[in-house]
Chain A
Amino acid sequence: MGKQLYIDSVVKCDVLIIGAGGAGLRVAVEICEKRPDTKVIALTKLLSPQKSHTSTAQGGAAAVDPNDPSDKVIYHMFDTWKGSDCSGDQNVIYKVCHSAWDQIVWLERHGMHFSRTEAGRIPKRVYGGHTLNFGKGGKAARTCYEADRTGKGIMDTVWGEAIKHNVRFMNMAVAAELLFDNGRCAGALVFQEREGKFVGILAKSTVIATGGKMQMYLMNTNCRQNTGDGLTLVLEAGLPVMDLEAVQFHPTGLVGLGFLAAEAIRGYGGILRNKENQAFMAQYAPVAKDLAPRDFVSRCIMAEIREGRGLVHPDYNLPFVWLDLRHLPEYIHSQKLPEVESLMRKFLHVEPRTDLCPVAPVAHYQMGGIATDEFGRVQGQQLSPVAGLFACGEVAAASLHGFNRLGTNSLVELITMGQVVGQSVLTYLKDAEDHDKMPPDAGKIVFSQFSDYLNAKGNGDYSSIRNKLRSVMMENVGIFRTENTLTQAIESLREFKEEARKIPAPGTSLAMNQRLLEIWELNHLIDISAIIATGALHRKESRGAHFREDYPERRDEFNHHSLVTMPEFDNMTIGKRPIDMSIFDAAEENYEHFDFIERKY
């Protein structure tokens, strides 16, 4: 018999925000600005909310400035729809694109340090897949930015505002289990890593904003803590997740390291080159060239590497191609791309002004996530909203991005949908009643998990399972997928899950037990990987970032979202959710661009 686990204390609040990154805190601030007496608790796994992964986003946030005579919101909507390979939801696309500029101005007024034009205004630059006049008018400069640290600007701004509005932070804390009271979400059972204690947080409404979840890939841009905990929370509650097989590989990760060389580089004229020094993108995308969308460019790079025109890095023994920035003007290097230059110099000893930079595609972003409606309300199996439960940011799929996200559309999603979800929570709070006490079965799931980890007697090797998982996902469920690679991956994942049960957590203490949490995270990574691989196996077509070599074309019979429930490992049901076509259905001017159109660049 092991250690008895129990709930140490119970705290009550109006709103519990799980994940205090850009999306979570934008929600928090919207609530506090409009209803100042609201008691908001924001959890972060990290040492401080300011450390959130939002702060690593480089490029910018797309928004059509109404003062710009050449650009129109409908162009941004079209680019997002086309970029998503006709699988984003048009109600969400409409909402996000229409509110984007207001939210940029909101950030600026709250002190974000945007870069400036000569006239002192917010500058805009070009990014992949963003065009004028439905792809016929050339590149659109609509990406608002703070040098190449736009995410940091957003993070610092919403974090500062959250402090100003007395949001209560709980650092080094994870939500381990959602609580329910007669079908309404009643908060979460929270594990505090620092104290090693479980605290029940009873909240009238709960917002999941845990961000990205790509640590299951060997080469990824995500932070150490991006392990899919938010997805597992809803899965364990029997709720569905959507489109997890849509995994974006960013074309230009630093070789061997994973983190990014911003797409903005190619926006300024950076060129991808192969071993023979050829600017190869022109052959694949004659019009968009290096600024084709990410899924497309990543596949082209991999094609070059497969056909022997890549290089192998001597230090990392990994394939790569070159990113050429040498011809960019001096002020671009120093003022627009200072963080990228510093990364290249420090980590690769490369001087981008004189040297070629070695890059390769890396897992970056998951378009799919917790299924929500256009108001950020989490959906149950019948697609009706679960009372009191919301999701926002990368963990959520409303879905703006469908099967491929355009660069800069993630930051714009978290500020626009952050505001929307804040409003949804405010509406919900009007009639929401208090939850008086903890549900009697609270802790059922997490206590059994933690007891298993602490009492495991096997010889399961944490690091070997983690490393095998990351290799299998990279090789078999990566940029190119086939029935064969996916089937093999699913078999391996079942083995990993079995082996993971035999990993003993060291010691008996719950406080600051790093490996204990790592085992919990590893289980989440295996669970989410199983859904990615299974979703990819069932989707016998290629759409956006999901590319099946055995089914290389998009197929109309898959014009829907994949909806998966998995209350326990491998016990999956796979359903569908229709793609919202409201712009097309409204049949107003230019609606024909919002049909299931051909996607060429």
Chain B
Amino acid sequence: MAQTFSLSLKVSRFDPDTKKSWIQTYTVEAGEVLRLVDVLRMINENQDSTLTWPSSCEHGMCGSCAMRVNGKPVLACELLVGDAVEYFKTHIFSIKPLTIAPVLRDLVVDLETAYERIRVIKPYIIQAAAVHPEGDEYRIPPEILQIYESATRCINCFCCAQACISRPARFLGPNAMLSGIVRLMDHREMAKDERMDIVYGDRGVTRCHTSRACSHVCPKEIDVAHFLALAKESQLILSKGKMPE
């Protein structure tokens, strides 16, 4: 049978009606294979029906349930109780919402505000290349795709933006950069100048301080800092729409 732990969860609460904030402590008995989302649901079901927390797919593909656990931004759906106890070496957990967007209630933040930074980077092909002569799909050699494929796995959970030491007002954020950098490398995107204006603009990669916190916290294990470094090395500027050698 799975081992059970007595956990103490100190959860940041916020009531939008009274504008009151407080820390509430919940004590729960939780099996090691439960995830943090399961524990929050347990509290919600058995102790406090007002506790509000974000989640959707609950297996690390949508990125809705990012929150800070003992200071570290994580996906609540991916954090197993047993792993959390081992990793943080404690049974006491501070559970706080992200700070990259205003809190709506308790652990739910207004991701619409956070996504404004993604909209700036234009998460689509601005101007598509001419269609392949045979009229079907573009040809992208696998060795080219492989250069940026891991960056396409980003789910915009904003864990990296949370961990980033640059201020959001100044920097669009590591995840927004990934999206722009992918399209700089993507042969199908023709609007390279417009892309570079954003990626190398005022709120672009030059605001990155190379702390590598983004790579450290990414739940998808993308080496975000690697892509920021690539962009900063100016290879992309020099290649002007071509792939770096």
A509 to B50, CA, bound (A): 11
Is residue B141 contacting chain A, with contact meaning CB distance below 8 A? yes
A512 to B220, CA, bound (A): 29
9-residue interface stretch from A69-77, A159-167, A374-382? A159-167
Query: Are B59 and A259 closer than 8 Å at their CB atoms?
Result: yes
Which of these, B62, B122, B128, contacts A55 with CB under 8 Å?
B62
Shortest Cβ gap from A224 to chain B (Å): 6
9-residue interface stretch from A111-119, A265-273, A279-287, A527-535? A111-119
A residues less than 8 Å from B115 (CB atoms) = 48, 50
Query: Are A110 and B125 closer than 8 Å at their CB atoms?
Result: yes
A564 to B46, CA, bound (A): 36
Query: Are B186 and A111 closer than 8 Å at their CB atoms?
Result: yes
- Count chain A CB atoms within 10 A of each CB in B31, B33, B221 and give the residue with the most: B33
B residues less than 8 Å from A46 (CB atoms) = 56, 62, 64
Shortest Cβ gap from A341 to chain B (Å): 11
A391 to B110, CA, bound (A): 29
A residues less than 8 Å from B125 (CB atoms) = 110-111, 160
Query: Known: A116-B141, A149-B153. Contact between A256 and B57, CB under 8 A?
Result: no
Query: Are A194 and B110 closer than 8 Å at their CB atoms?
Result: yes
Query: Are A51 and B110 closer than 8 Å at their CB atoms?
Result: no
Query: Are B80 and A347 closer than 8 Å at their CB atoms?
Result: yes
B residues less than 8 Å from A110 (CB atoms) = 124-125, 128
Shortest Cβ gap from A150 to chain B (Å): 12
Query: Are B108 and A512 closer than 8 Å at their CB atoms?
Result: yes
B residues less than 8 Å from A184 (CB atoms) = none
Query: Are B112 and A343 closer than 8 Å at their CB atoms?
Result: no
Which of these, B58, B141, B145, contacts A113 with CB under 8 Å?
B145
A residues less than 8 Å from B188 (CB atoms) = 109, 111
Query: Known: A53-B56, A256-B33. Contact between A120 and B124, CB under 8 A?
Result: no
A166 to B56, CA, bound (A): 25
Query: Are B57 and A55 closer than 8 Å at their CB atoms?
Result: yes
Is residue A152 contacting chain B, with contact meaning CB distance below 8 A? yes
Shortest Cβ gap from A118 to chain B (Å): 7
Of chain A, the residue at the smallest CB distance from B136 is A105
A104 to B57, CA, bound (A): 25
Which of these, A53, A109, A121, contacts B57 with CB under 8 Å?
A53
A residues less than 8 Å from B49 (CB atoms) = 462, 506, 515
Number of interface residues of A (CB under 8 A): 66
Within 8 A of B (CB), among A151-208: 152-153, 156-157, 159-161, 163-164, 169, 171-172, 194
B residues less than 8 Å from A121 (CB atoms) = 137, 139
Query: Are A55 and B123 closer than 8 Å at their CB atoms?
Result: no
Of chain B, the residue at the smallest CB distance from A519 is B49
B residues less than 8 Å from A436 (CB atoms) = none
A46 to B182, CA, bound (A): 26
Which of these, A105, A109, A111, A506, contacts B50 with CB under 8 Å?
A506
Is residue A133 contacting chain B, with contact meaning CB distance below 8 A? no
A50 to B1, CA, bound (A): 38
Which of these, A47, A52, A147, A512, contacts B111 with CB under 8 Å?
A47
Of chain A, the residue at the smallest CB distance from B115 is A48
Query: Are A315 and B1 closer than 8 Å at their CB atoms?
Result: yes
Query: Are A48 and B111 closer than 8 Å at their CB atoms?
Result: yes
B residues less than 8 Å from A314 (CB atoms) = 1-2
Q: Mostly helix, strand, loop or mixed at chain A's interface? A: loop
Which of these, B50, B60, B139, B183, contacts A346 with CB under 8 Å?
B60
- Count chain A CB atoms within 10 A of each CB in B17, B63, B220 and give the residue with the most: B17
Is residue A449 contacting chain B, with contact meaning CB distance below 8 A? no
Within 8 A of A (CB), among B41-75: 44-46, 49-50, 52-64
Which of these, B16, B112, B119, contacts A47 with CB under 8 Å?
B112
Query: Are A51 and B17 closer than 8 Å at their CB atoms?
Result: no
Is residue B131 contacting chain A, with contact meaning CB distance below 8 A? yes
Query: Are B122 and A164 closer than 8 Å at their CB atoms?
Result: yes
Within 8 A of B (CB), among A89-129: 104-105, 108-111, 113-122
A53 to B80, CA, bound (A): 22
B residues less than 8 Å from A506 (CB atoms) = 49-50
Is residue A511 contacting chain B, with contact meaning CB distance below 8 A? yes
Of chain B, the residue at the smallest CB distance from A113 is B152
Is residue B133 contacting chain A, with contact meaning CB distance below 8 A? no
B residues less than 8 Å from A113 (CB atoms) = 145, 149, 152, 182
A residues less than 8 Å from B182 (CB atoms) = 113
Which of these, B16, B64, B137, B142, contacts A109 with CB under 8 Å?
B137
Is residue A476 contacting chain B, with contact meaning CB distance below 8 A? no
B residues less than 8 Å from A51 (CB atoms) = 56-57, 62-64, 111
Is residue A87 contacting chain B, with contact meaning CB distance below 8 A? no
Query: Are B104 and A194 closer than 8 Å at their CB atoms?
Result: yes
A346 to B141, CA, bound (A): 31
A residues less than 8 Å from B54 (CB atoms) = 47
A115 to B44, CA, bound (A): 41
A111 to B188, CA, bound (A): 7
Is residue A223 contacting chain B, with contact meaning CB distance below 8 A? yes
A residues less than 8 Å from B50 (CB atoms) = 506-507, 514-515
Query: Are B140 and A160 closer than 8 Å at their CB atoms?
Result: no
A residues less than 8 Å from B140 (CB atoms) = 116, 120
Query: Known: A120-B140, A339-B61. Contact between A156 and B123, CB under 8 A?
Result: yes
Query: Known: A110-B124, A119-B139, A506-B50. Contact between A511 and B60, CB under 8 A?
Result: no
Which of these, A53, A163, A512, contacts B105 with CB under 8 Å?
A512
A residues less than 8 Å from B223 (CB atoms) = none
Query: Are A109 and B128 closer than 8 Å at their CB atoms?
Result: yes
Query: Are A343 and B139 closer than 8 Å at their CB atoms?
Result: no
A residues less than 8 Å from B56 (CB atoms) = 46-47, 51, 53, 223-225
Query: Are B123 and A160 closer than 8 Å at their CB atoms?
Result: yes
B residues less than 8 Å from A225 (CB atoms) = 56
Query: Are A56 and B52 closer than 8 Å at their CB atoms?
Result: no
A residues less than 8 Å from B62 (CB atoms) = 46, 50-53, 55-56, 223
Is residue B22 contacting chain A, with contact meaning CB distance below 8 A? no
A residues less than 8 Å from B16 (CB atoms) = 509, 511-512
A515 to B55, CA, bound (A): 14
Which of these, A163, A343, A463, contacts B124 with CB under 8 Å?
A163
- Count chain B CB atoms within 10 A of each CB in A116, A156, A339 and give the residue with the most: A116
Shortest Cβ gap from A155 to chain B (Å): 9
Of chain A, the residue at the smallest CB distance from B124 is A160
Is residue A237 contacting chain B, with contact meaning CB distance below 8 A? no
B interface residues, Cβ below 8 angstroms from A: 1-2, 16-17, 31-33, 35, 44-46, 49-50, 52-64, 78, 80, 104-105, 108, 110-112, 115, 119, 122-126, 128, 131, 136-142, 145, 149, 152-153, 155-156, 182-183, 186, 188-189, 220-221
Could you jot down 12 A-B contacts, CB within 8 Å? A48-B111, A55-B62, A108-B138, A113-B152, A115-B142, A152-B153, A160-B124, A223-B56, A224-B58, A259-B57, A314-B2, A346-B78
Extra 13 A-B pairs, beta carbons < 8 Å, given A48-B111, A463-B44, A509-B16 = A46-B56, A48-B112, A55-B61, A105-B137, A110-B125, A110-B128, A111-B128, A113-B145, A114-B137, A342-B220, A347-B35, A463-B46, A511-B105
A interface residues, Cβ below 8 angstroms from B: 46-48, 50-53, 55-56, 67, 104-105, 108-111, 113-122, 147, 149, 152-153, 156-157, 159-161, 163-164, 169, 171-172, 194, 223-225, 256-257, 259, 314-317, 338-339, 342-343, 346-347, 462-463, 506-507, 509, 511-512, 514-515
The 5 closest A-B pairs by CB, nearest first: A160-B124, A463-B45, A120-B139, A512-B105, A47-B111
